Structure 1
């Protein structure tokens, strides 16, 4: 029997309630747990995220080359332009990044607290024609 039953990605931020609202809007999610210093949400597809209060939190500085990207979130989407409009309307912002190499088109963003995340086109599972 597995000892660990589930995992939750937890982002530190100064205002967990506000950051939870951003991700609830982005992921069509709902709040599942709330305490004085932590809010957890579950997205429509089952992804779980939590936001922990850290009054001294400072936004990450990625993508500056002198700092490593320690962690970020990737979200698979069907339409980059549509989801970008949603990100911006919720208070997120695009990050200036050069086109990433590889088979997937992707774009980088920061949430309202400065955490980076990536929207990536979900690879097509349809067989190639011809």
Structure 2
């Protein structure tokens, strides 16, 4: 048995209840615990996030260098356009970033509290044709 188990990715924010709603809707998650200063959720695939109240939280400014990347989450999706519509509908916003080099198509966003995250397209793998 592992001595240390994976826990939560915790995002500090001024209003954890509101940010939890954004991610619950985006990930089709359920709330697993809530206190006055923390809300925890778990997605259908088991991914767990927590949101901790910090009234002095300063949103990251990424990709600008000042107060840059504090935390970053990658989410994988089958349809970038559909996922982007959902993000914007829930109050997230696209970030102006250059396309990332590499084999993945991805887009950067900020949640309503300013934390950055990426939607990354799952590339279907087809069997090799002989």
CA distance in 1, matches of 2:111, 2:32: 20
Displacement of 1:6: 2.5
Unaligned residue ranges in structure 2 (runs of 5+) = none
Q: How far, CA to CA, are the matches of 2:111 and 2:51 in structure 1?
A: 12
Task: Tell which deviates more after alignment, 61-70 or 84-93.
Answer: 61-70
- The 5 A counterparts of 1:1-130 are 1-65=1-65, 68-129=68-129
Which consecutive residues of structure 1, in runs of 5 or more, have no partner in the other structure?
none
What's the secondary structure of 2:97's corresponding residue?
coil
Q: Give, in whole Å, the separation in 2 of the partners of 1:121 and 1:129.
A: 23
Bigger CA drift: 71-80 or 118-127?
118-127
* TM-score of the aligned structures, taking structure 1 as reference length: 0.94
CA distance in 2, matches of 1:24, 1:92: 13
Q: CA RMSD in A?
A: 1.4
Distance in 2 (alpha carbons) for counterparts of 1:54 and 1:67: 16
Runs of 4+ in 1 over 4 A off after TM superposition: none
Aligned to 1:56, the other structure's residue is in SS state coil
1-side partners of 2:91 and 2:128: how far apart? Answer: 38
Q: CA deviation at 1:5?
A: 2.3
